[in-house]
């Protein structure tokens, strides 16, 4: 479960990490009132469960209450990375001296938590990792033990941070780790963790993910959060998917995917990536293919990045001709204007292939690899044409 920034900050504050003063607002008037109460320069921030808001216009620094109201009018209701903005965090602007990066997350390599720290904060950590990987320090921790203050201190000292700030930053990192443990988090990321011009350590952003299996155990802590227990978040399309009972996850690419079964879907995503393409979504329509094919295809096509669609069915107990009939009906109804590639194997494949040939005039691929390659090429050529 992903918490919103203001909720994550509430948790950070509860363990003694400084966060800017502020409050949430769901209207321009309310934003103006919060800004007036704070006085001076304020930051208006879209409360959505997605990062990189700054670059997408979801974070605005303004000089007055009137400007905060105007900023709120701009951000509220707008679309930031597929999320409709319904709430803002309006908080006192901080004079940043230096932006640091701090996070504790589940590490698949050490199979435990790892503390990450970098003096190159503010930017995406992926970017930092790509451009200056040496600046990212990693400290694997043993979940059964309290973190060693010495080890954390040494990591911060090694990073080249000004000696005067080392202790305060190390204390903040130790606190972030305690929060990760106490809240059953799989991620606590503070980017930027700011060193202010007056030398204070302040968390300017917070991304906290609570392990889904622990949400019940964390009930009290979550119920205390402002705004109540958070929804599971997700983009607007992901929420529509959940409402339809479909496991739909938006990914960053342009090849729409429709497959049956989570395993085959993951395989399809791997194959797309293997051949140099980028999938636009995970969508597993399982045994419901026949009844949910139309809303499922509609969901895939509603992602504006989709330039081609790949349908990959593999039948065992579930018959591929039944699934294919559903998808062919959906295509006839929705008449997508992007090309579709098919590959169908297993129970009922002869009948399924015949359906695609006869009703759509298309030829499914014998090999999954060929269908994947075609879908990637279709997505590319379409982009070139429209560019
Ligand atoms: P993200 O883009 O979703 O990660 O949003 P952040 O909360 O990290 O904000 C993006 C950027 O806005 C930060 O890296 C800062 O440079 C800037 N920012 C955020 N809060 C403040 C603030 O209080 N004062 C100043 N000067 N800049 C801020
Ligand atoms: Mn950030």
Q: Give the three-class secondary structure for 385.
A: helix
DSSP for 77-131 reads T-EETTEE---EEEEE---EEEEEEEEEEEETTTTEEEEEEESS-SS-HHHHHHH
Higher pLDDT, 106 or 247: 106
- Statement to judge: residues 268 and 349 lie in one domain: yes
User: Rounded mean pLDDT of 39-68?
Assistant: 95
User: According to the model, what pLDDT value does residue 232 have?
Assistant: 55
**Which of 63, 92, 121 finishes a domain?**
92
Contact yes or no for 19/203 (Cβ under 8 A): yes
Is the pLDDT at 107 greater than 60, yes or no? yes
Between the CA of 33 and the centroid of ligand 2 the distance, in Å, is 25
Number of domains in the chain: 3
Residue of 205, 206, 208 to test ligand 1 pocket, by largest number of atoms within 8 Å of CB? 205
Between the CA of 216 and the centroid of ligand 1 the distance, in Å, is 32
- What is the Cα–Cα distance from 303 to 89, expressed in whole angstroms? 28
Ligand with an atom nearest the CA of residue 94: 1
pLDDT in tens, 145-182: 889 999 999 999 999 999 999 999 999 999 999 999 99
Q: Is residue 27 part of a domain?
A: yes
- Statement to judge: residues 100 and 88 lie in one domain: no
Q: Is residue 224 part of a domain?
A: yes
Q: Is residue 330 part of a domain?
A: yes
- Statement to judge: residues 342 and 297 lie in one domain: yes
Tokens 């999954």 belong to residue? 368
**Which of 213, 230, 247 finishes a domain?**
230
Between the CA of 207 and the centroid of ligand 2 the distance, in Å, is 8
Tokens 């109540």 belong to residue? 228
Between the CA of 104 and the centroid of ligand 1 the distance, in Å, is 20
- Statement to judge: residues 63 and 109 lie in one domain: no
**pLDDT category, 140, cuts 50, 70, 90?**
very high
Q: Is residue 108 part of a domain?
A: yes
**pLDDT category, 92, cuts 50, 70, 90?**
very high
How far from each other are the two terminal CA atoms of the chain, in whole angstroms? 38
- Statement to judge: residues 41 and 169 lie in one domain: no
**181 closest CA partner among 141, 139, 230:** 141
Contact yes or no for 117/101 (Cβ under 8 A): yes
| Pocket (CB within 6 angstroms of ligand 1) | 20, 43, 45, 51-54, 59, 61, 93-94, 96, 99, 122, 191-192, 204-205
Q: Is residue 14 part of a domain?
A: no
Q: Give the three-class secondary structure for 319.
A: coil
pLDDT in tens, 245-268: 888 999 989 999 999 989 999 999
Give CA 27 to chain center in angstroms: 25
Contact yes or no for 31/75 (Cβ under 8 A): no
Domain CATH number, residue 75: 3.30.1490.20
- Statement to judge: residues 77 and 105 lie in one domain: no
Supply the range of the domain harboring residue 357. Answer: 234-386
Any alpha helices (H) in 159-288, and if so which ranges?
163-182, 219-223, 236-243, 262-274
Angle, CA of 20, 24 and 27, to the nearest 5°: 135
Between the CA of 310 and the centroid of ligand 2 the distance, in Å, is 34
Q: Is residue 2 part of a domain?
A: no
**Which of 175, 201, 230 finishes a domain?**
230
- Statement to judge: residues 161 and 202 lie in one domain: yes
- Statement to judge: residues 179 and 214 lie in one domain: yes
Contact yes or no for 296/330 (Cβ under 8 A): yes
- Statement to judge: residues 223 and 247 lie in one domain: no
Bridge-partner residues for 114, per DSSP?
A: 105, 140
DSSP for 136-152 reads EEEEE--TTSPPPHHHH
Residue nearest to atom 14 of ligand 1 (CA): 122
- Quote the pTM value: 0.74
Domain CATH number, residue 368: 3.40.50.261
- Statement to judge: residues 108 and 194 lie in one domain: yes
User: According to the model, what pLDDT value does residue 287 have?
Assistant: 65
Mean pLDDT lowest for which of 58-67, 122-131, 160-169?
122-131
Angle, CA of 8, 10 and 16, to the nearest 5°: 110
Q: Is residue 1 part of a domain?
A: no
Q: Is residue 4 part of a domain?
A: no
Residues near ion ligand 2 (Cβ under 5 Å): 191, 205
């Amino acid at each position: 479960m992903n918490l919103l920034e203001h909720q994550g900050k509430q948790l950070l504050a509860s363990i003694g990490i400084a966060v800017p003063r502020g409050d949430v607002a769901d209207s321009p008037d309310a934003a103006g009132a919060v800004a007036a109460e704070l006085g001076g320069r304020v930051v208006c921030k879209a409360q959505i469960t997605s990062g990189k808001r700054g670059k997408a216009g979801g974070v605005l620094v303004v000089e007055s209450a009137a400007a905060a109201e105007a900023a709120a009018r701009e951000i509220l209701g707008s679309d930031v990375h597929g999320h409709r903005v319904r709430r803002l965090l309006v908080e006192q602007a901080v004079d940043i001296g230096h932006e640091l990066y701090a996070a504790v997350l589940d590490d698949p390599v050490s199979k435990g938590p790892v503390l990450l720290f970098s003096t190159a904060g503010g930017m995406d950590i992926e970017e930092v990792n790509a451009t200056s990987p040496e600046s990212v320090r990693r400290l694997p921790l043993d979940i059964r033990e309290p973190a060693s203050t010495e080890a954390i201190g040494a990591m911060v000292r090694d990073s080249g941070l000004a000696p005067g700030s080392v202790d305060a930053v190390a204390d903040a990192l130790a606190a972030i780790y305690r929060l990760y443990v106490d809240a059953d988090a799989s991620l606590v990321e503070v980017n930027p963790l700011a060193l202010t011009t007056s030398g204070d350590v302040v968390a300017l952003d917070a991304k906290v993910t609570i392990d889904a299996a622990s949400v019940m155990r964390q009930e009290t802590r979550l119920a205390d959060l402002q705004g109540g227990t958070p929804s599971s978040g997700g983009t607007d399309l992901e929420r529509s998917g959940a409402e339809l009972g479909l496991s739909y996850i938006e990914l960053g690419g342009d090849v729409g995917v429709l497959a049956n079964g989570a395993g085959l879907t993951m395989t399809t995503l791997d194959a797309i990536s293997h051949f140099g393409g980028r999938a636009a979504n995970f969508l597993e329509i399982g045994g419901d293919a026949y009844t949910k094919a139309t809303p499922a295809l509609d969901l895939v096509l509603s992602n504006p990045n989709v330039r081609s669609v790949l349908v990959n069915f593999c039948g065992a107990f579930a018959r591929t001709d039944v699934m294919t009939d559903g998808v062919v009906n959906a295509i006839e109804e929705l008449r997508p204007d992007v090309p579709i590639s098919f590959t169908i194997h297993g129970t009922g494949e002869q009948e399924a292939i015949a359906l695609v040939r006869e009703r759509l005039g298309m030829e499914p691929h014998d090999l999954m690899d060929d269908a994947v390659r075609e879908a990637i090429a279709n997505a590319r050529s379409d982009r070139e044409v429209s560019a």
